[in-house]
Each structure stands twice: as structure tokens, then as C-alpha cells.
């Protein structure tokens, strides 16, 4: 990070800002650049440092072996180097060259600190620094930050809370990005931090092989799409079991695709799918599919879409917070799912326990359409896979109220159906790509 501090030296001279301790601040950013789980930001650096060496003195009193003494001193030094003085860090951030506020590396560095620190003055320093940026990469951190500030719930009051707690300047900055419509949109979605996971299961052929998949950040619906939401957009209700707060069902894969685009247009977003109904898709091998629309993707769109099969499984497993449950959120299916043994129809969304990410009903209630063609995992790419190029059936996941066999509700279980099929146990949930 020396180059960063070199770049800002002229900024000090132009604004007559006294330079902080250059060596200390270079050290701070070198430590930050190599973030570890042991990193500790403290508001009393001297006290923390004294504690480290007091403990060292106690250790040395009981040691006689030179190697053990050297090892203890090295560990103490390492603990000291993991300390960062909060006040020095705030000062360093405040005096960084504002041009660096759009630097991807700096954004990721400070964004991580924003989400993990308990110190309000450090949050303010980072937020004020982010105001200078035109890079929307900050939203990857500002959106989860607003979630944390208001108990993981979105509403216009989030911004007013930040206004009173931090500053009107930050409020106005966030308002620029988070207009009330956007807050309403995101209210029903959960941010899923990207990462890698082992997808599949080796106990049955259609779940094999277990393979590692890496995914980017994305947002996924906290709930399955409801009949109320469907009626507002599509003007009809195809569901067998009626109720505004029940998941919509009896919808085909094509219906779900059209809903995504129409909802995107209503909410002022760019549509994710390009739909051509005039030609037949040569990659569609299903003889029972009388539509065979050609669907192409705008992968830079901010609009709604169906999850890929990999995104669905990653979110169902709990993302980077996964505890390895069989079902989405528990090893006890009755805690988290509506299935044949506890219901004989769909149930209102969000009545069972959520999974580790706060997502409801990913096991049971209704099967959920995914974008992918159903196919063998062995040909799947490892990064952001979207399934095979061709096939006969589209993937659905999660099981439903109609499944006597509870294993259908497991996070690794794969279902499939003809894209035109409509059943009273088949629905979907929405996804949006995160800003990159």
C-alpha cells in the first residue's frame, strides 16, 4: 500500500493538512491489505499493547528453553502487529486522496471494515470517504451496512436512522442510490455474499459428482413469489389454493420468465431476459414443449431473474454461513418446511423458521423453478454456472407440500419438469445480480 500513501502526499501539501505519522499509516494499510481473522482495531492501542507484553512477561517467567522463549516473543510481536489504533486509522482514511475512493481494492478493503467494526467514528470516516466515489461497487457494502443498522430490514426509516446517527451528508449520499422504490424492492430480498461451496451429493447418480462451484454476490427473494405479487404484475391468478400471502403456483417456467421481465419494467429496472416467441429454440429437445421460445440473457442487467441451480443450492445451504444442514435451515424438516406429513396444500410464506441467511421456505411449500436446463454436473463450469446449453427439462428445487418422501426437500435434491408444465405444487422465487 506504499503507492497509495505516496499518491496522497501531494494532497497534504495542496490542502495544508499536516502529515500523519507516515510509517505508522503505511503499517496500518499493510496490515489492512492483509486482513486476517486476528486483526483487531482498538480505541486504546497502548493499553492493548501493554496487555500483550504483560502476558508475555508471565509466560517468560515459566520458560527456560531458549527456543520456547523465542517462540513466545515472536507470538507477542505478531499479536502486536495485528493491532490497529482506531484513531490513527480514522485519521489515515480522512486524509486519503479522494481519487482513491473509486479504487476497487480500497473499496473492498474499507467496505469489509465498515461491516465489521463496532466504532461509530470509524464508520463515519469510511462513509464520508465513500461519498467522494462514483463507483457503485460501494453498494456491495452499503446495502449490507444498512441491513445491519436496522436489524436486516429495509424501509425508508433506515436512511433517517443513519441521518440522525451519523450525518445529513451521508444520508443525502445514500438517498442518491437508495430511493424509496429501491428500498421497497430490496425489502424482500436477501444479500448473498459470493463464495465457493461443494455442490451435489454422491449418494445418487443424478446428484453426482460433488464438485466445487464459485459464485459472485447476488440477491435472492426472502420469500417465494406470492399470489398478491403475481396478480399485481400479471393481472390474473392461476393458483389452485387461493390467498394473497400464499405462494403462486400452477405457473410454467415460461410464465416465471415473463413475470421477471414485467416486474423489472414496473420497477424501473433493465430486463434480464430477451424473449423471442417468433422462432423455435433448436436447443430445446422436449417434444411436449409447444412453445420453445428462444431466451437469451443480458447478464449485465439489474433486473429480476430466476436463480441458477448453483445459486439456489448455495443460498439454500446458507451461503457462507452454512451449518451443513440436510434441509434449508435445519436437520429437522418440520422446523423449516411444509411437506406432505404436516399439510395438504400450500401455506402462507414465512411461517416456518428461516435458514442461516434469513431465507424462508427453500425446503417445502412449492417446488421452485431454476433457470438451468437439467443435465449432468460433470460438464458444468466451476464459476457462475448457468447449466447445459440444451436439454428437455428445466430444473426445479426444494420439494413441496405434495412430496410424501421428505428427501425431496433436501438442499441437494434435484427435480425437473417440462418448461410448459403447470402444477399446484410448483412456484418460484426471484434473484437479482449484485453490482460488480
| Cell of residue 125, nine digits | 470516516
Report the C-alpha gap between 14 and 17 in whole angstroms.
8
Separate counts of helices (H) and strands (E) for the chain: 15, 14
How much is the pLDDT for 204?
A: 63
Judge whether 11 and 17 are in contact, CB under 8 Å. Answer: yes
Distance CA 160, CA 192 (A): 25
What is the predicted pLDDT for the residue at 32?
Answer: 52
* Structure confidence at residue 33 (pLDDT): 54
Task: List the grid coordinates of 364.
Answer: 417445502
Whole-prediction pTM value? Answer: 0.63
Neighbours of 330 (CB within 10 A): 19
Per-residue pLDDT of the chain (436 residues; tens, 9 = 90+): 223 333 333 333 333 333 444 444 444 455 455 544 456 777 666 777 788 888 888 888 888 888 888 888 888 887 777 777 777 788 778 777 778 888 888 888 888 888 878 787 788 788 878 877 777 788 778 767 765 554 434 344 444 455 555 555 665 556 555 544 555 555 678 889 899 999 988 766 566 678 899 999 999 999 999 999 999 999 999 999 999 999 999 999 999 999 999 999 988 889 999 999 999 999 999 999 999 999 999 988 889 999 999 999 999 999 999 999 999 999 999 999 999 889 899 999 999 999 999 999 999 999 999 999 999 886 667 899 999 999 999 999 999 999 888 889 999 999 999 999 999 999 999 999 985 4
Question: What pLDDT shows up at residue 146?
Answer: 65
Give the model's pLDDT for residue 23.
46
Q: What is the pLDDT of residue 147?
A: 59
Query: How does DSSP assign 197-242, residue by residue?
Result: EEES-TTSGGGPPPEEEEE--EEEESSPPBHHHHHHHHS----SS-
Q: Name the grid cell of 119.
A: 466504532
C-alpha cell at 69: 522463549
* β-strands 431-433, 218-221 pairing: antiparallel
Q: Where are the beta strands (DSSP E) in 74-188?
A: 83-85
What's the grid cell of residue 96?
Answer: 486519503
CB 137 within 8 A of CB 435: yes
Q: What is the pLDDT of residue 234?
A: 97
Beta strands 83-85; 40-42: pairing state: parallel
The reported pLDDT for the residue numbered 331 is: 95
Q: What is the pLDDT of residue 24?
A: 47
Across the beta sheet with 431-433, the strand order is 189-192, 218-221, 431-433, 304-305
Q: Phi/psi zone of residue 273: left (φ > 0), alpha (ψ -120 to 50 degrees), beta?
A: beta
C-alpha–C-alpha distance, residues 348 and 357, integer Å: 19
Q: Which three cell numbers stand for residue 163?
A: 441521518
Domains and CATH numbers, the chain: 2-39+82-187 (no CATH), 195-433 (3.90.1580.10)
Amino acid at each position: 500500500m506504499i503507492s497509495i500513501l505516496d499518491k496522497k502526499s501531494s494532497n497534504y501539501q495542496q490542502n495544508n493538512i499536516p502529515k500523519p505519522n507516515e510509517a505508522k499509516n503505511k503499517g496500518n494499510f499493510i496490515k489492512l491489505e492483509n486482513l486476517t481473522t486476528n486483526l483487531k482495531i482498538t480505541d486504546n492501542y497502548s493499553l492493548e499493547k501493554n496487555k500483550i507484553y504483560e502476558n508475555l512477561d508471565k509466560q517468560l517467567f515459566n520458560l527456560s528453553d531458549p527456543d520456547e522463549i523465542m517462540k513466545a516473543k515472536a507470538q507477542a510481536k505478531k499479536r502486536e502487529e495485528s493491532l490497529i489504533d482506531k484513531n490513527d486509522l480514522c485519521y489515515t482514511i480522512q486524509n486519503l486522496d479522494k481519487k482513491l475512493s473509486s479504487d476497487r481494492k480500497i473499496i473492498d478493503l474499507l467496505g469489509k471494515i465498515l461491516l465489521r467494526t463496532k466504532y461509530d467514528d470509524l464508520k463515519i470516516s469510511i462513509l464520508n470517504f465513500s461519498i467522494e466515489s462514483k463507483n457503485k461497487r460501494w453498494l456491495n457494502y452499503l446495502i449490507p451496512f444498512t441491513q445491519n443498522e436496522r436489524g436486516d430490514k429495509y424501509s425508508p426509516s433506515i436512511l433517517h436512522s443513519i441521518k440522525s446517527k451519523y450525518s445529513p451528508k451521508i444520508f443525502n449520499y445514500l438517498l442518491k442510490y437508495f430511493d424509496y422504490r429501491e428500498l421497497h424492492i430490496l425489502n424482500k430480498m436477501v444479500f448473498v455474499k459470493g463464495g465457493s461451496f461443494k455442490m451435489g451429493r454422491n449418494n445418487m447418480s443424478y446428484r453426482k459428482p460433488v464438485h466445487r462451484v464459485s459464485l459472485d454476490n447476488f440477491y435472492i427473494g426472502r420469500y417465494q413469489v406470492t399470489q398478491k405479487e403475481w396478480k399485481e404484475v400479471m393481472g390474473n391468478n392461476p393458483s389452485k389454493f387461493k390467498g394473497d400471502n400464499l405462494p403462486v403456483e400452477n405457473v410454467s417456467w415460461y410464465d416465471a420468465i415473463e413475470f421477471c421481465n414485467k416486474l423489472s419494467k414496473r420497477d424501473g429496472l433493465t430486463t434480464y431476459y430477451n424473449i423471442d416467441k417468433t422462432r423455435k429454440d433448436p436447443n430445446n429437445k422436449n417434444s411436449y414443449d409447444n412453445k420453445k421460445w428462444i431466451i437469451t440473457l443480458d447478464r449485465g442487467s439489474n433486473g429480476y431473474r430466476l436463480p441458477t441451480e448453483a445459486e439456489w443450492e448455495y443460498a439454500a445451504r446458507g451461503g457462507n454461513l452454512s451449518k451443513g444442514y440436510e434441509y434449508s435451515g435445519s436437520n429437522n424438516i418440520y422446523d423449516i418446511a411444509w411437506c406432505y406429513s404436516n399439510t395438504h396444500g400450500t401455506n402462507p410464506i414465512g411461517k416456518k423458521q428461516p435458514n442461516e441467511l434469513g431465507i424462508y421456505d427453500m425446503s417445502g411449500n412449492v417446488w421452485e423453478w431454476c433457470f438451468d436446463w437439467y443435465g449432468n454436473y460433470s460438464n458444468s463450469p466451476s464459476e457462475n454456472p448457468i447449466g447445459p446449453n440444451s436439454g428437455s427439462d428445466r430444473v426445479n428445487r426444494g420439494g413441496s407440500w405434495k412430496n410424501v418422501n421428505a428427501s425431496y426437500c433436501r438442499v441437494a435434491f434435484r427435480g425437473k419438469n417440462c418448461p410448459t408444465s403447470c402444477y399446484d405444487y410448483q412456484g418460484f422465487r426471484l434473484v437479482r445480480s449484485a453490482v460488480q
